Structure 1
Amino acid sequence: MSKVTGWLKRTGRLVGRGARFAFRILIVIPFRFIFRDTLTVLLTDLRRGWRWVGRMLWKVINPVMMPFDRSFGAMQSGYPRWARWALDHKGTVAGITIAMTLVSAVMARALGTELVPPLTQGEFTFEIQLPEGKSLPYTDRLMKQVEDRVKEYPNVRTVFSSVGGSNENQFAKQTKEENKAQLYVVMKDKTDKLAEEQTINQIRRELDQFPEVTYKFSRPSYFTFKRPIEVEVYAYDLEDLRRAANLVAHRLESIQGLSDIKTTTELGNPEVHVIFDRDRLARLGLEENQVSQILRNKIRGDVATRYKEQDKQIDILVRASEDDRKTVQEIKDLTINAAAINSSSPGGGNAAASRQGSAATSPVPIKLSSVAQVISARGPNEIHRIKSARSAIVSANLTGRDLGSVSEEIRQQLRQLSTELPANATANLSGQNEELQVAYKSLLFALGLAVFLVYLVMASQFESLVHPFIIMFTVPLGVVGAILGLFVTQTPISVMVFIGVIILVGIVVNNAIVLIDYANQLRAQGLPKREALVQAGLVRLRPIMMTTLTTVLGLLPMSLGFGEGAEIRAPMAITVMSGLMFS
């Protein structure tokens, strides 16, 4: 039995070895041969291909690299001489630096300021208004004419309009009437700023051909205020408020660069005013609240019951017939004493008269004109309140000018206008200018915090307070370079520029860190301070140039303004590029 068992074990081992050998012969070796040779050939071809690509790229880049190498060689050979001259003429270098700083400060004042650069979004809206009383079909026909003309513009992809009222509820922000409409336009190329401006001007000319049309232009807004310029006017009396707002609007019309000037005190639709004579009401035994309720029920209607249809409830109103309330004279002739109204029922009026002898229950009808003055007038379109005070807002759009210069001119006009405003009326500038001041204060704090944190990190690394202080002198030079770049490109100072300066604080010190660190190493080796500075600048010139050029070239496409939203990105890129190159 043991022999049989041993033979089975030996046979099993031989079978296992044979199976592994067969698997290696049939599977492993062929696949190894195929993949090894194939991969070798493939890598050889790729290596040859890369060599060919490299040679072609060198032929393309070589004409550019050769002048660069020659220029860098000349700079490297002349650097020691320039460095020694600067070290020998410290006063001259400091004077030049201070002079350039002062010049950059003057340039900064010449630059405009704005909250965020105007963004070309490729879509905009015209809010159009016709005189009160124009019917919905008339407004629709006019908008159809405008739509047909705008559709023919080659740069317009979509145009549609919204006319008259809507299904907005009582909590809606805006109300719409039959004489109002909105024209929505979407451009084919949303990044073409010039085409958008041309289209806007064309539509303005089209609308100017209709003398009865007034309009307001607007773009989709990402800020608290819809329009760049807003002047808040305060007065308690509505008439004084309207006069003050009109005076402000008239002054804004004289400022170049403002368009679509509009006030919120524009008169609303015609309405009927009922002014009660309280003495006469008292003599007739009538109460003002009771008469007002009767008048309201006759004109507007009283909800008698509700008709229910599935989950909807429809009010059923009881009111005077249309023929009895169509004109102002018919409203004057409305009967306002309740007993006379009910006297048409058999015996109802006589019973009431016998119970009470006052005029309120007299069967003799009393007309509204006998106790009140009924006039046709126009009230305010809307009443604004800011911080619980009655106010009006005069708004405008900017065209071809920056927010800062226009805001300063508006402040001058408001100071001159203060003596002409009605008593107790005031006006002050708000809108995006107010947001601008808040944003600038926050960004200045962020800039100071960034400078402090950078200094703190360098002080901990260098274990010195002097060397980081020397390195931080590159930050003002970077800001000078940023201002020079903005002035050359005529880019206004905005929030994006401030963000670029904050980024610049963290980047511009890198070159100085590399230079100072190597100079300290040379001094530790026994080299004099002057020679250590010259040698450190010469050795670190190439890496400093490489890091600066790679950063500048990387930001170059952003600064050129390609793609949607380029107006936002370009100022930040220009700031970082120019500041880094100058420092």
Structure 2
Amino acid sequence: HSWFYRKTEPFFRGMENGYQKALTQFMKVRWLSFVLIGGCIAIIVLIGRNLQSELAPMEDRSQFRLQLSAPEGTSFDAMDKYVDRLSNFMLDSVPEKITVLSVTSPGFSGSGNANTGFVRVTLVDANERERSQEEIVNMVNRNLPKYNEGRAFAIQEQTISVNRRGGQPVSFVIQNNNFTKLTEILPKFLEEANKSTVLQQVDIDLKFNKPELRVQIDRLKASELGVSVGDISETLQLAYSNRRLGYFTKDGKQYQVMGQVARSNRDDPDDLKVLFVRNNRGEMISMDNLVSVEESNTPPTIYHFNRYKSATVSANVVPGKTIGDGIKEMQGIADKLLDETFATSLSGSSRDFAESSSNTSFALLLALGLIFLILAAQFESFIDPLIIMITVPLAFAGGVLSLGIFGHTWNIFSQIGMIMLIGLVTKNGILIVEFANQNRMAGMKKTEAAIFSATQRLRPILMTSLAMSLGALPLALSLGAAATSRIPLGVVIVGGILFSLILTLFVLPAMYT
């Protein structure tokens, strides 16, 4: 044997003897294995229920953007000045910037609307600045209320976005085909959302901010004066619709002929009343005698979601909270205010989060089922796979406990880590159970076979478990680019393997007997 073997073998021999003595004593109180399994299940339920959830941890991508909007009817020039003010604020207050790009009226609200814009800020790499991207965004959001010509909020791009959607992370859709009920409940919903300690920068897409003139025709009076409703509507159309009346050609070029009154005669709502319409006797009748005009506000667009009239309430979450907390808060407000005629749904990043959660839960159950069936076929028994699968809740408890201790969230990467744990930790059970079955066939009693097999398999179990843990350690230590997303994956793997390793060496032989 080599020098290294001679130096290390006494240590491993002593470790095996110590483990064998401890396992022999544990077998005398093996009912404690049920207590340990119950404790692990309690850890999974209690700590897992209190873990914050999100689609993926927010990566520092060295960029963010300001989403801007102004009241409906804002001119392009006014909006451009607002965008320039915020661009200058970014240039002055964010020394870590590389570029600041601003765009006025990019068409977010449909063509022809000039009341939107955005400012995109690119930062130097994370290792070249003292402040993180999140700290810079929080500073910007604290200062945005000073720029009150419109509404602005800073947005970090989600780490994972299925359809590259923009907007805020929490998007909660309220649906009701009764438009009156929908519009009545929205102010109350927004009031509750603005009071929330979880949500910030609450906004809604259904805004009643588009000026509108409602023209009511006095049909009885019009009939008495010999004016038809069609004549009145056609006169209004000719005066204000800018309708194309025809074409004319000059110098080989064709031009449209558009018809409407001059701007000086259509800037004031009262200008409508000085129009005249000809009656059936050829007389000119003032429009003031035929119609009444009422000013009101209306939404620029009536939104639909799954064929229902809808309004989407969007919000950001305060620092320290996640998208899962935001969705729970929105759902709590909905349960409090909405009756059974309303339906709710999610959109944007919130929908991505909900769909990924359900998909990974299905993948977790599928992995458990497939491994059980494969083990049942391998051992030609349903009992041995059940004993081996006892290692799974032990590993899950270690993974959940590690997430809670180190302050990480329940996200798609930690869920992938849990799925990986199923395969990684059942290996320990296979090593012990298979060897114990062979020893029983050789004539050993069940308890003797369990203790002997666990002792003989101690070294390969330690070797493989430590190798996997050390292999995942760089993930948990946040080494390399885009490490933030991978930290929960590494923490779950390392914590789950080490926690289950200690318990498996005692619980599994006890459960085998």
**Structure 2 residue aligned with 1:407, among 320, 327, 342?**
327
Q: Does 1:259 align with 2:200?
A: yes
Check the 8 A contact 1:122/1:187 in 2, yes or no.
yes
AA at the equivalent of 1:430: L
User: Aligned residue for 1:35?
Assistant: none
Q: Does 1:111 align with 2:51?
A: yes
AA at the equivalent of 1:106: L
Cα separation, 1, equivalents of 2:97 and 2:7: 47
1:135 and 1:444, CA in 2 relative to 1: closer, same or farther beyond 3 A? Answer: closer
Cα separation, 2, equivalents of 1:120 and 1:214: 25
- Which range is displaced more, 427-436 or 325-334? 427-436
**Superposed displacement of residue 240, structure 1:** 4.4
**Secondary structure at the residue paired with 2:52?**
coil
AA at the equivalent of 1:378: N
Q: Does 1:320 align with 2:256?
A: no
User: Aligned residue for 1:140?
Assistant: 80
AA at the equivalent of 1:453: L
User: Aligned residue for 1:78?
Assistant: 18
Cα separation, 2, equivalents of 1:262 and 1:245: 11
Q: Does 1:201 align with 2:120?
A: no
Cα separation, 2, equivalents of 1:408 and 1:67: 58
**Superposed displacement of residue 429, structure 1:** 5.5
**Structure 2 residue aligned with 1:213, among 127, 132, 150?**
150
User: Aligned residue for 2:299?
Assistant: 380
Cα separation, 2, equivalents of 1:278 and 1:255: 51
**Superposed displacement of residue 258, structure 1:** 0.8
**Structure 2 residue aligned with 1:187, among 110, 123, 130?**
123
AA at the equivalent of 1:159: V
1:294 and 1:502, CA in 2 relative to 1: closer, same or farther beyond 3 A? Answer: same
- State the identity %: 24
Cα separation, 1, equivalents of 2:139 and 2:245: 54
Gaps of 5+ in 2: 501-513
Q: Does 1:128 align with 2:48?
A: no
Q: TM-score, normalised by structure 2?
A: 0.84
Check the 8 A contact 1:514/1:540 in 2, yes or no.
yes
Cα separation, 2, equivalents of 1:299 and 1:479: 69
User: Aligned residue for 1:158?
Assistant: 99
**Structure 1 residue aligned with 2:379, among 462, 467, 470?**
462
**Superposed displacement of residue 260, structure 1:** 1.4
Check the 8 A contact 1:236/1:389 in 2, yes or no.
yes
Cα separation, 1, equivalents of 2:455 and 2:369: 30
1:525 and 1:139, CA in 2 relative to 1: closer, same or farther beyond 3 A? Answer: same
**Superposed displacement of residue 200, structure 1:** 1.3
Task: Name the larger-Rg structure.
Answer: 1
Which structure is higher in RCO with an 8 Å CA cutoff and minimum separation 6? 2
User: Aligned residue for 1:352?
Assistant: none
Once the two structures are superposed, residues 72-118 of structure 1 have per-residue CA deviations (whole angstroms, 9 ceiling, x without a partner) of 66533411111112222111232233223223321112212233333
AA at the equivalent of 1:375: E
User: Aligned residue for 2:432?
Assistant: 515
Cα separation, 1, equivalents of 2:171 and 2:298: 23
Pairs aligned (count): 489
Cα separation, 2, equivalents of 1:401 and 1:427: 26
1:56-455 to structure 2, matched below 5 A, reads 75-131=15-71, 134-152=74-92, 153-164=94-105, 166=106, 174-175=110-111, 177-189=113-125, 195-220=132-157, 222-223=161-162, 226-235=167-176, 238=179, 240-306=181-247, 315-337=256-278, 359=279, 361-399=280-318, 400-418=320-338, 426=342, 428=344, 430-431=346-347, 436-455=353-372
- Which range is displaced more, 516-525 or 78-87? 516-525
Check the 8 A contact 2:198/2:329 in 1, yes or no.
no
**Superposed displacement of residue 487, structure 1:** 1.3
1:336 and 1:546, CA in 2 relative to 1: closer, same or farther beyond 3 A? Answer: farther
Check the 8 A contact 1:246/1:263 in 2, yes or no.
no
User: Aligned residue for 2:398?
Assistant: 481
**Superposed displacement of residue 541, structure 1:** 1.7
Once the two structures are superposed, residues 144-202 of structure 1 have per-residue CA deviations (whole angstroms, 9 ceiling, x without a partner) of 232223124222222111113x5x6xxx8645633432111222226889521222123
AA at the equivalent of 2:38: I
**Secondary structure at the residue paired with 2:65?**
strand
Check the 8 A contact 1:123/1:190 in 2, yes or no.
no
